[in-house]
Amino acid sequence: MEAHERGFFTEENSVEVVTDRNRNAKDERLKQVMEVITRKLHEAVKEIEPTQEEWFQAVMFLTKTGHLCNEWRQEFILLSDVLGVSMLVDAINNRKPSGASESTVLGPFHVADAPELPMGSNICLDQKGEDMVIHGRILDTEGKPVANAVLDVWQANDEGFYDVQQKGIQPDFNLRGVFRTGPDGGYWFRAVKPKYYPIPDDGTVGKMLTALGRHPYRPAHLHFILKADGFETLTTHIFDPDDPYINSDAVFGVKESLLAEFDKVDDAKRAAELEFAGPFWEVEYDFVLARTKGARG
C-alpha cells in the first residue's frame, strides 16, 4: 500500500486523510458537515501557520470559554455573535421573499410566558425612563392586514437592562408583553425609550473584543417575535437610528430595513390622551410577514 492509502498523514494530504477516516459515519449529514469543517479548519491552519504556542493559546481560549458557560451564561453563543456567525445562521435560515420584513438574532433575554395584554397597554411597570408610544400594522406581502397575529415584544429599560437581569430591582415582566391584532392588523402599545447596552464583557469574549479594539455595545432596540397562522414566524428587532452604536452593533444585528424613526413629540393633548406627563417618543413601524411556503393565499 502507498503511504496515503495507509492513512499516513502529511501536511499536503491532511484533509483527505482525515476525511477518509470518517467514511463509515452512518449519518450522511454528519459526514458532510465533518467534511466541510475538516477542510475549512485545515485551510485556516495552513494559512495561519500557528506556532505551537499560538495553537495552545487557542486551546486555552476555548477551554476558558467553556468554563464560563453555565445555566445563566453562554459564552460560546457570545463568541458566535461577535464573529458574525449567529447573524449568518439567522440570515441563511430566514431568507425572505421581496417585501417581507427582515429577521435578526433572538438574543438571550426572551421569556416564553410574558402576559397577553390589551392593545395600548403600557409595558413599562416601574414608571422609569422616557415615555414612548409604538404603533403600526402587521401586513402580508401584498399589503393586506394580518388579523389574529401575535406580537411578542421585549426590550431593555432606560439604563440598558432587561427585567431578568435585574430581578428584585425591576418588576417581573417589566417591558414585556404579548398583543394580538384585530381585523385591521394594527397594533399599539406604550413603553419607554430603550438604551444601548453591553453584551457581557467580563469573560473571554470581552477580552477578545478589547484586543480587537472593539466595544461590546448593542444599539438601542426593541425585540419582536411575530406569529400568525399561515405565515412564517418573524424574529426581529427595530432599532433607534440615532443610537451612538447604530453602525457598530457588537453582534452585527442591525439591518437597514430595521431602522425605525424615533420622533420626539411635544404635544400636550396627545400626551394627555396617552396618559403621559409631558413630551414623549413616537415610533411607527409596519411589519410584513411572509406566507408559509405552500400555505393558501
Pairing state of beta strands 131-140 and 287-289? parallel
Instruction: Give the three-class secondary structure for 181.
Output: coil
> What distances in angstroms separate CA 195 from CA 83, 219, 237, one per listed residue?
23, 7, 13
Pick from 166, 173, 237, 252: which binds a second copy (CB under 8 A)?
A: 252
For the bound state, the minimum distance from the C-beta of residue 166 to a second copy, rounded and expressed in Å, comes to 26
Q: How far apart are CA 242 and CA 220, in angstroms?
A: 9
Q: Does 112 bind a second copy (CB under 8 A)?
A: no
Considering the complex, state which of residue 48 and residue 169 has its C-beta at the smaller distance from a second copy. Answer: 48
Q: Does 211 bind a second copy (CB under 8 A)?
A: yes
Considering the complex, state which of residue 39 and residue 180 has its C-beta at the smaller distance from a second copy. Answer: 39
For the bound state, the minimum distance from the C-beta of residue 176 to a second copy, rounded and expressed in Å, comes to 22
Piece in contact with a second copy (CB under 8 A), picked from 73-81, 132-140, 160-168, 193-201: 73-81
For the bound state, the minimum distance from the C-beta of residue 69 to a second copy, rounded and expressed in Å, comes to 5
CB-CB neighbours of 237 under 10 Å: 25
CB 165 within 8 A of CB 108: no
Q: Does 274 bind a second copy (CB under 8 A)?
A: no
Q: How far apart are CA 119 and CA 117, in angstroms?
A: 6
Q: Does 99 bind a second copy (CB under 8 A)?
A: no
What count of Cα atoms within 13 Å lies in the side-chain half-sphere of residue 185?
A: 17
Piece in contact with a second copy (CB under 8 A), picked from 12-20, 135-143, 167-175, 279-287: 12-20
